[in-house]
Structure 1
Amino acid sequence: MRPEKAHVLTIYLGESDQWHGQPLYVAMLQLLREEGCAGATAMRAIAGYGASARLHASQGLRWSSDASIVIQVIDQPARIERLLPRLSAMLRGGLITLHETEVVHVTPLLRSGLPARRPVRQAMTTHLTTVEPETPLAQVLTLLLRGPFRALPVVDREQHLLGLITTGDLIRTGALPLRRGLVRTALALDETTADQMRTPLTQAGQSARTAADVMNRQVRTVRPEQSLREAAHLMLETGLRRLPVVERDKRLVGMLSRTDLLRAVATSLLASEAEERESGLMGGVARQTNSSAASAPVRNYLRSEVATVHEDAPLSEVFEALLQSPLKRVVVIDDGQHVRGIISDVDLLASLQEELRPRLLSWLSGLARGREQHASGASPSLGPQLHRAGCAGEVMNRTVVTVPATATVSEAIALMMRTGRKVLPVVDDDGHLAGIVGRSDLLRVLLEDGDDASY
């Protein structure tokens, strides 16, 4: 779960209702867990009546000894809609209601590293947007620039995966001049800057190319029954941020991202206890995992080498630091090494004077097309103008989210998921910058955390 629109599914049934020899509410909870629902709660009423209540002339209303059970599920609309027919078929007598809600805050319960036995299907995203090989390039560009997703699977009419299109593939094939964040920001700025982006996008959209011409056909995939740990290993080994999930016949059933893996660590207490029971770890070993790396201070795993600039640094220095930063972000500090803000290339573009934006975009476009051939530093003509254009303190994002060095890895993950940040500057007790952590850093910690565990 994350802060967003969601569906609330409520099921009313009787405690004595059965499903294949076990209580119906238990069977429903098991189904919800196996299908990857974020969580479900079963509540037992102290009294109640339903359509089966009978009113007798001499005895009045006869209360049933069969207590009412209420199951409530809050999850993504796509998952709820997918499971609703199966849940309805299991309910012989009862009531199901469904309504929309908005999740405003989630505080997950973090247990330990990535569980070795939890399958990919429980964490993958199933609400997908796909294209076919014949889809025009113009439509591909529109979907990737406007949608919330960062990869577009290419499938045939039977949903078999044929390839994958990311913004990196579009840049590599010349269909997109820059990464998505920069393009979207440029299109929302002044007319001259927007036109500079519209021109290559229009040219690409008017070409005869299709999805098949720009997609990557060599796609690494995982299966829904594989473990999350296997998927995490594959991501870290390859540097991939997301993996298509396919059945054995190559039919696409979901997508798994680094964020999905981090959210998978935030399991419900019901799921965690069930896994421990299945693995026979209700004793000392289970307690040992709770004191592992997930509960260790984040200072043990931070990157100490951080791209930083002083708040008075000229924008030319900011640009140099951004080029060298592997996280594409620069932390802004004051004389006392306190964090004052953070700057991305999007922040730099949006804060520049209108007359400098096209030149910066041209330089970045050339960099994206021939990254391995360029020398570090801005162009001779752009550098001096950036130097005079302002300082870091004028363009930085002041709403930077930091995490204390004493916070646990679990707390850092919860903060990252709650705020939607991809990187977190780490500060010591006095507020001094100590380092930085990103999603891949935390994922690597959780993966190593459970490598010696048998669960």
Structure 2
Amino acid sequence: MSLLRRGTALVLTIYLGESDQWQGKPAYVAIVQFLREQRCAGATVLRALAGYGAGLRLHERGAGRWSSDAPVVIQVIDQPGRLRRLLPHLQEMVGGGLITLYEVEVHKYTHARSRGLPTNLPVTQVMETEVTTVHLDTPVAMIINLLMDAPFRALPVVDEQRHLQGIISTGDLIRADLLPVRRGVARTALSLDSRTAETVANPLAQASNLQAQDVMNRQVRSISRDTLLSEAARMMVETGLKRLPVVGPDQTLQGMLSRSDMLQVIVTSPLMSTQASSRTQPLTQTKPLANMPVQQQPVVAYMQTEVATVDEQTLLADVIDALILSSTKRIVVVDAERRVRGIISDIDILTRLQEEVRPGIVRLFTNWARGKPGHLPTGALHTSTGKVRVAADVMNRDVVTVGEESETVQQALERMMATGRKILPVVDAQEHLQGVIGRSDLLHLLLEEG
């Protein structure tokens, strides 16, 4: 079974007769078993009171008993890629009947428990099985194109038998000097003016003669299908990895488990370790409420209190310096009373700066991505007649926050996953900044309570 994510999904509906058979068993039973084996999010079988099909034969309840061939409806809601992959086999299983397929918008999918995650839940129940892979001889230029447009940030490298050989992430490409900046900045730069695009496109051109085997990381940490979620979460926390390949006994790739997959589980069954700590800041632990599941406790109990902030009139050069030093790669903009006014990321700065300054900013972010400290000469930010001068000119005013006392860990988790934000400022009733909570913090929630 795979967790169904918020967003677009497909509804597959199958209409058939109760007496229909597939390989010696009722077809509806065989179909549900097949869907379960393929780890679909769920399936429902409904037995009709009455109905008729293409043959115009009426099936109805009569004489106090059901027709021996009552209409049966099977409905499945799942990710589009998975259902389209299974559709040919399902069509074969339905000898006579009707199959429909249409899009829906998933707003919430939950199998929430009152406390924690099942201790016997393996990663195979959560991992993504529709994984894009590349081969050892795949050109790196093609890999970069795939990663620039894809929702994922890593590509497993496999041989012809799908044996895992390595992995290539955007971080690997940055370390190999093939991707100058993180993917979001690169995509933004390529969509801006020609000079800014060239500062990213020129390094990308160096990949023209390279193959996957030349740049892939061969020291891959992988897990088996039977690995428990808690074990996978601990490995992610201890290594700092954001994704893990899942392999079979013969090292064939079976799927991928990402940090987002883990957090999606927390949304439905969150866990919290009272001893957990962030990789960069200790989590502030206030007094938890006795005997209350952690997902129902105020988010203030687990936030980071050390937050990089600037005010709206902070000069842009100082904003950039603060951003480079920030452990969260975000700067929160506050007023004199620490009320949240905006948030700033590297993309916010790049998109709002004047055209002639952007190439220098990209080069600065390139050094930052490669761990090389650097500063943009303050004068470079004053060469234009534009109005971008201070934090207020570049900040994103659409800030998603959570209330320190009024909102629970569960609500913070759901909001983070629903909005796609990686960092959420935590505020009091008057919108004063109290701290932040991020995805890396939330992953620690998987490690203790169950």
Paired residue for 1:403? 402
**How much does 1:307 deviate?**
1.2
Query: Secondary structure of 1:101's partner?
Result: strand
**How much does 1:441 deviate?**
1.2
Deviations 1:374-412 (A, max 9, x none): 37x5556657779x9411111111111112223222222
Determine whether 1:135 maps to 2:138. Answer: yes
Equivalents in 1 of 2:216, 2:178: separation in Å?
11
Residues 259-274 of structure 1 aligned to structure 2 (within 5 Å): 259-266=260-267
Alpha-carbon contact 1:9-1:80 (below 8 Å) kept: yes
Determine whether 1:101 maps to 2:103. Answer: yes
The count of residues paired between Structure 1 and Structure 2 equals 422
Query: Secondary structure of 1:262's partner?
Result: helix
Paired residue for 1:215? 216
Residues 409-420 of structure 1 aligned to structure 2 (within 5 Å): 409-420=409-420
Q: 1:119 aligned to 117, 122, 126, which one?
A: 122
Paired residue for 1:310? 311
Distance 1:95-1:17 versus aligned 2 partners, 3 A rule: closer
Query: Secondary structure of 2:83's partner?
Result: helix
Alpha-carbon contact 1:11-1:94 (below 8 Å) kept: no
Q: Which structure shows the higher helix fraction?
A: 1
Deviations 1:231-288 (A, max 9, x none): 11111111101111111111112111111112234559xxxxxxxxxxxxxxxxxxxx
Distance 1:409-1:427 versus aligned 2 partners, 3 A rule: same
Distance 1:229-1:325 versus aligned 2 partners, 3 A rule: same
Equivalents in 1 of 2:291, 2:183: separation in Å?
39
Equivalents in 2 of 1:392, 1:40: separation in Å?
51
Equivalents in 2 of 1:257, 1:8: separation in Å?
25
**How much does 1:75 deviate?**
0.9
Determine whether 1:192 maps to 2:191. Answer: no
Paired residue for 2:328? 327
Q: Which amino acid aligns with 1:339?
A: V
Alpha-carbon contact 1:308-1:332 (below 8 Å) kept: yes
Alpha-carbon contact 1:131-1:153 (below 8 Å) kept: yes
Equivalents in 2 of 1:366, 1:341: separation in Å?
26
Alpha-carbon contact 1:115-1:229 (below 8 Å) kept: no
**Paired-residue identity, %:** 53
Q: Which runs of 5+ in 1 are unaligned?
A: 269-288, 451-455
Q: 1:43 aligned to 34, 43, 46, which one?
A: 46
Q: Which amino acid aligns with 1:437?
A: I
Deviations 1:180-207 (A, max 9, x none): 11111111111111111111112x133x
**How much does 1:48 deviate?**
2.6
Distance 1:84-1:302 versus aligned 2 partners, 3 A rule: same
Paired residue for 2:171? 168
Equivalents in 2 of 1:39, 1:267: separation in Å?
15
Equivalents in 2 of 1:54, 1:95: separation in Å?
13
Q: 1:205 aligned to 201, 204, 207, which one?
A: 207
Distance 1:16-1:431 versus aligned 2 partners, 3 A rule: farther
Paired residue for 2:281? none
Alpha-carbon contact 1:178-1:365 (below 8 Å) kept: yes
Residues 12-411 of structure 1 aligned to structure 2 (within 5 Å): 12-13=15-16, 32-33=35-36, 35-50=38-53, 54=57, 64=67, 67-84=70-87, 95-103=97-105, 105-106=107-108, 108-111=110-113, 112-202=115-205, 204-206=206-208, 208-266=209-267, 291-369=292-370, 371=371, 374=373, 378-379=376-377, 389-405=388-404, 406-411=406-411
**How much does 1:35 deviate?**
4.1
**What do you get for the CA RMSD once the two structures are aligned?**
3.4
Equivalents in 1 of 2:351, 2:90: separation in Å?
49
Q: Which amino acid aligns with 1:433?
A: L
Distance 1:137-1:14 versus aligned 2 partners, 3 A rule: same
**How much does 1:103 deviate?**
1.7
Alpha-carbon contact 1:321-1:330 (below 8 Å) kept: yes
Equivalents in 2 of 1:121, 1:34: separation in Å?
11
Alpha-carbon contact 1:49-1:63 (below 8 Å) kept: no
TM-score by length of 1: 0.82
Equivalents in 2 of 1:290, 1:133: separation in Å?
53
Determine whether 1:430 maps to 2:430. Answer: yes
TM-score by length of 2: 0.83
**How much does 1:30 deviate?**
6.1
**How much does 1:132 deviate?**
1.0
**How much does 1:422 deviate?**
1.5
Equivalents in 2 of 1:205, 1:427: separation in Å?
45
Paired residue for 2:445? 445
Query: Secondary structure of 1:355's partner?
Result: helix
**How much does 1:215 deviate?**
0.5
Distance 1:223-1:338 versus aligned 2 partners, 3 A rule: same
**How much does 1:295 deviate?**
2.1
Distance 1:226-1:23 versus aligned 2 partners, 3 A rule: farther
